[in-house]
Amino acid sequence: MKKKGIISLLSVGLLASSLSVGTAQADSNTYEASKKAIEGQLETNKPLNHNVISPSVLNDFKEKTLNSLKTPKSFSAKKSNAASISGSSGSPMYESEPNDDFKIADTLLNDRMTFGQFDDTFDIDFYKVYVSGKGTLLVGGVTDTPSDIDLLFVATEYDYQDHGYLEYLDSEYDDGVEVQEYKVNKAGTYYIPVLDLNSSETDDVYGISTLFQAEAKDTVAPNKPTVNKVDNNDKVVTGKAEAGSTVTVNVGKSRIGYAKASSNGSFSVNIPVQKAGTSLNVTAKDASGNVSKLTYVTV
């Protein structure tokens, strides 16, 4: 799991028949294409940023991932992934073949281990996980036989597309567990292709697990805006407010104009000319919907 180097493919000429050769070529092409896409996404090998997610959450996730290896893992009568999902909470799930494409990916549940095996030389296993909103996604991979399985995995959008919904941050390998960290910018379903860089047939088992931590909701209201003097011939109200907030100018409860504050907090709101003595009240609302206290100004 520690190495991510390029490997040579087995010669398809060793296969017994032309049919098996064709199948192996197709499998190897799919394997190689996925390996290239995964390595491309992980080419920036950055160390894990422990300021993104709390160390206690990270350590607990790694400990659960390691402890899962102690769970009995029998694939003689492999359970289906769907059946595993309906099992008791926290119990491990098992890969269900075929799951070698985005369209037939097995479902993962956050904070619940799924065990898998590679059935042939060029086997790729696809998983999917639903994320409920913005936040941080951890993906952990582990095997009790790292000498046999060199596990390669990544979290990605469907078909390796990149709309900016999921951003790879960093990763670390420690105590036999690889943990990758992603910033989630949009709720949705994301995919985790898994393959063995050793590309060898083996009965050894690997585990894959995810954990999502939602972005803390902003509940702090902006400071009330600072408003410049307004005269009875002015058609613009100017001042300073929280950067990016929406500034609204009202007369009583009636809105007469609004605009978004710039990145440095400056705002300029167009309004109809008001009579001298008119009382205006001005508020700022941030992206989370928090509204400031009123600022009053008399024309």
- Domain containing residue 233: CATH number: 2.60.40.10
Q: Residue 62's closest CA among 166, 148, 151, 138?
A: 138
What would the mean pLDDT of 210-235 be, rounded to a whole number? 91
Q: Tell me: pLDDT of 124 over 50.
A: yes
| Residues 272 and 151 grouped into a single domain | no
| Residues 49 and 90 grouped into a single domain | yes
134 within domain boundaries: yes
Q: What CA–CA distance (Å, rounded) separates 1 from 151?
A: 5
113 within domain boundaries: yes
1 within domain boundaries: no
Considering Cα of 240, then 241, then 245, then 249, what sign does the dihedral take? negative
Alpha carbons within 13 angstroms on the beta-carbon side of residue 42 total 25
| Residues 142 and 267 grouped into a single domain | no
3-class DSSP state of 207 = strand
Q: Tell me: pLDDT of 223 over 90.
A: yes
Q: Tell me: pLDDT of 47 over 90.
A: no
How many domains, in total, are found in the chain? 2
| Residues 91 and 168 grouped into a single domain | yes
Residue 52: pLDDT band with limits 50, 70, 90:
low
| Residues 128 and 249 grouped into a single domain | no
| Residues 55 and 146 grouped into a single domain | yes
Q: What CA–CA distance (Å, rounded) separates 280 from 237?
A: 10
Q: Tell me: pLDDT of 260 over 80.
A: yes
Q: State the DSSP code for 274.
A: -
Contacts of 154 (CB under 8 A, 6+ apart): 38, 41, 42, 139, 168, 180, 192, 193
What would the mean pLDDT of 228-248 be, rounded to a whole number? 96
Q: Tell me: pLDDT of 38 over 50.
A: yes
| Residues 252 and 203 grouped into a single domain | no
Residue 63: pLDDT band with limits 50, 70, 90:
confident
Question: What pLDDT, on the 0 to 100 scale, is given for residue 202?
Answer: 65
220 within domain boundaries: no
**pLDDT tens per residue across span 277-292:** 999 999 999 988 899 9
- 59 backbone dihedrals φ, ψ, rounded to 5°: -65, -40
**pLDDT tens per residue across span 134-148:** 999 999 998 877 777
Question: What pLDDT, on the 0 to 100 scale, is given for residue 5?
Answer: 32
Q: Tell me: pLDDT of 51 over 90.
A: no
The better pLDDT of the pair 266, 23 is held by 266
Q: Residue 62's closest CA among 178, 149, 204?
A: 178
CATH at residue 161: 2.60.120.380
Residue where one domain finishes, among candidates 154, 187, 214: 214
Residue where one domain finishes, among candidates 214, 239, 266: 214
Q: Do 64 and 209 form a contact (C-beta atoms < 8 A)?
A: yes
Structure tokens at 244: 């990016």
Q: State the DSSP code for 8.
A: P
274 within domain boundaries: yes
Q: Tell me: pLDDT of 192 over 80.
A: yes
Stretch among 40-44, 50-54, 240-244 having the lowest mean pLDDT: 50-54
| Residues 233 and 210 grouped into a single domain | no
| Residues 202 and 242 grouped into a single domain | no
Question: What pLDDT, on the 0 to 100 scale, is given for residue 225?
Answer: 96
The model's pTM = 0.64
Alpha carbons within 13 angstroms on the beta-carbon side of residue 61 total 26
Q: How far is CA 243 from CA 48, 74, 213, 265, 267, in A?
A: 30, 57, 26, 4, 9
Residue span of the structural domain in which 283 resides: 226-298
59 within domain boundaries: yes
The better pLDDT of the pair 17, 231 is held by 231
Q: Do 147 and 176 form a contact (C-beta atoms < 8 A)?
A: no
Structure tokens at 73: 């893992």
| Residues 168 and 114 grouped into a single domain | yes
| Residues 155 and 256 grouped into a single domain | no
Q: Do 220 and 236 form a contact (C-beta atoms < 8 A)?
A: no
> What are the residue ranges of helices labelled H in the chain?
18-41, 55-67, 81-85
Question: What pLDDT, on the 0 to 100 scale, is given for residue 19?
Answer: 33
The better pLDDT of the pair 7, 212 is held by 212
Distance between the two ends of the chain, CA-based, in angstroms?
69
Instruction: List beta partners, residue 140.
Output: 179, 209
